[in-house]
Amino acid sequence: MSNPSLLILPGDGIGPEVMAEVRKIIDWYGTKRDLTFDVSEDLVGGAAYDKHGVPLADATMDKAQEVDAVLLGAVGGPKYDSLDFSVKPERGLLRLRKEMDLYANLRPAQCFDALADFSSLKRDVVAGLDIMIVRELTSGVYFGEPRGIFEEGNERVGINTQRYTESEIDRVARSAFELAMKRDKKLCSMEKANVMESGVLWREVVTKVGEDYPEVELSHMYADAGAMQLTRWPKQFDVIVTDNLFGDLLSDLAAMLTGSLGMLPSASLGAPMANGRPKALYEPVHGSAPDIAGQGKANPIACILSFAMALRYSFDAGDEATRLEEAVNAVLADGLRTADLLGEEGVQPVSTSEMGDAIVAKLDASL
């Protein structure tokens, strides 16, 4: 039986630095847990543009379609700001999402106890928080037609169209219900059915899908009320499913509840492949942070936790994902902090590579 395959795309800025720490983790699993991956590496974003003149080469896209999972670092930077929109680094990431048809974006918001005081909310509100937002990623207002800026009379008008089909709602809803079945069997669907016809359809389809998952407690909430409730008492939620626009806003809001956007991973999942695994792209939520690139200041935890998500959702290794998450938690509990997490008394500043080494040491201690 062949090893599972993983394509690594470090990208730009701090991407290569944080990905180097993930490689340590991958090597550890191969050596200590007999969990070996066939790893290949390629270019995306500005790095791809510098070599190929495009943010994602066709050959790289072909590789991404063939492997079991893709792990991406970050793309972009001011060096590329003057490029034509069609070849900006971010277009490489968007092409991956579109051509792999990655329609379900999983954004966890987990607050490690050691970092609860970093949140702008009170400790008791966020300590122990562990929620998942499932955002529809390939349709909605970002993709609907007509769209553009047009002349209308003596002024310009900007148009974007919110559009969803039943099948698009159905498939992301099923992803969310399947996820809820593996967690606390509680799902909240958020839309604006009170003012948007697309919201009415969304609620109807999600409710219909829910009939196939009688064990899951399904609730509905208007997205603006959901934003308010996320800041009032976020631990009332477990899994949230919502559309592309609201998911974009709500997942960033939920991310900051944890105190550090730089700590959070994400997964984008598509339809099952022939082997039953979903097409999948894993990436940290943070950007390329070119201002600190090459200085050893970057926090690799979000990228490492993205690999943990790959273990859980692409490689059927949930126990090993939990092992890695617990190792991260243990390192933070010991007071080790990269530059983005400094500010408390009594913590120990560490570099990017030192953080990776510390997590590997905790993995060793878990055996």
Name the catalytic one among 50, 142, 235, 334: 142
What token pair was written down for 196?
A: 């948007």
Q: Which of 98, 114, 365 is CA-nearest to residue 244?
A: 98
Q: Is 192 a catalytic residue?
A: yes
Annotated binding site for substrate: 97, 107, 135, 224
According to DSSP, residue 106 is labeled: E
Name the 3-class secondary structure at 133: strand
Q: Which of 138, 126, 146 is CA-nearest to residue 164?
A: 138
Q: What's CA 101's distance to the chain center, in Å?
A: 15
Q: Is 364 a catalytic residue?
A: no
Annotated binding site for NAD(+): 77-90, 287-299
CB atoms within 10 A of CB 291: 11
DSSP string, 169-217: HHHHHHHHHHHHHHTTSEEEEEE-TTT-HHHHHHHHHHHHHHTT-TTSE
9 and 44 Cβ atoms separated by less than 8 Å: yes
Distance CA 189, CA 177 (A): 10
Task: Give the pairing of strands 239-242 and 130-136.
Answer: parallel
Distance CA 101, CA 268 (A): 9
227 and 253 Cβ atoms separated by less than 8 Å: yes
Q: Is the peptide bond before 146 cis (omega within 30 degrees of 0)?
A: yes
Name the catalytic one among 248, 279, 313, 340: 248
- The DSSP bridge partners found for residue 222 are 191
Name the catalytic one among 27, 130, 184, 252: 252
Those residues with Cβ within 8 angstroms of residue 142's Cβ, 6 or more apart along the chain or in another chain? 160, 244, 245
Side-chain-facing half-sphere of 88: CA atoms under 13 Å: 12
CB atoms within 10 A of CB 154: 5
Task: Give the pairing of strands 104-110 and 69-74.
Answer: unpaired
Which residue carries 């009688």 as its tokens? Answer: 214
Annotated binding site: 77-90, 97, 107, 135, 224, 248, 252, 287-299
Q: Is 248 a catalytic residue?
A: yes
347 and 335 Cβ atoms separated by less than 8 Å: yes
Name the catalytic one among 49, 192, 282, 362: 192
Residues belonging to the active site: 142, 192, 224, 248, 252
